[in-house]
Structure 1
Amino acid sequence: NAPRNKPGDEAYAYEWFYPGNDYVDVLAADIYGNDYRASHYDQLLALGGGKPIAMGEVGELPSDSILTAQPRWSWFMTWGYFICSKHNPPKKVIQLYSSPQVLTADEVYRDKQGRWHVR
């Protein structure tokens, strides 16, 4: 469930839709409109009680400063048409994916036992 830009909207209340830690491995939020508020991040962390949190869908990619201020995000995903849009100019995309805070597919591998490693 993704918060929307409308105070009082039921989407702000993640706990209303959360089935509980016994049923969830990862908590994710859809973030559009560059709405990377700390309150959304903090709500997911508190609700998950140590479970990973992720940006399930984003429009505008998070900035380096967002990832620094909110370091517990496990991953982010943007739709193909957003990554090549006015919301994500090439310079910003290159800078983000070059950041030491971001791992890309070429930087990880799986060993013969199926364990993941960072190169």
Structure 2
Amino acid sequence: MTDLSASSALPAVASAPVTHNTAIDDAKPRAGNTATLAQLDLGQAMQVLAVRAPAHAPEWADWLAEIGFLPGEAVKILSRGLPGGDPLVVRIGQSTFALRRAEAACIQVQAPQGREAAHD
């Protein structure tokens, strides 16, 4: 007979890798902090800080860089699909793309710095 008690399941759960945490991904960014592109409100002007691809899709980092998601680039969400907010319509520089939330969650953003901040 298999032991299904909470105490027997705890070690397996505690050692399981965490690959996605909706509570963190859906948290709204606070002033002065970084966030992911997936967390932004519509029209919120930000700047790309970094791209971090998930372990299951390392090629996403190269693909996102190829289409313009590079550090320092201005970015904002123009709209979200319904229902569920997927995909996101995103403006990067002068280009517009549709990204899945999982892809947008790979893009770290921050408030515009320097000259870009003065033009928003």
The two structures have a TM-score, normalised by structure 2, of 0.24
Structure in which a larger fraction of residues adopt helix: 1
The structure with higher relative contact order (CA 8 Å, sep 6+) is 2
The two structures have a TM-score, normalised by structure 1, of 0.24
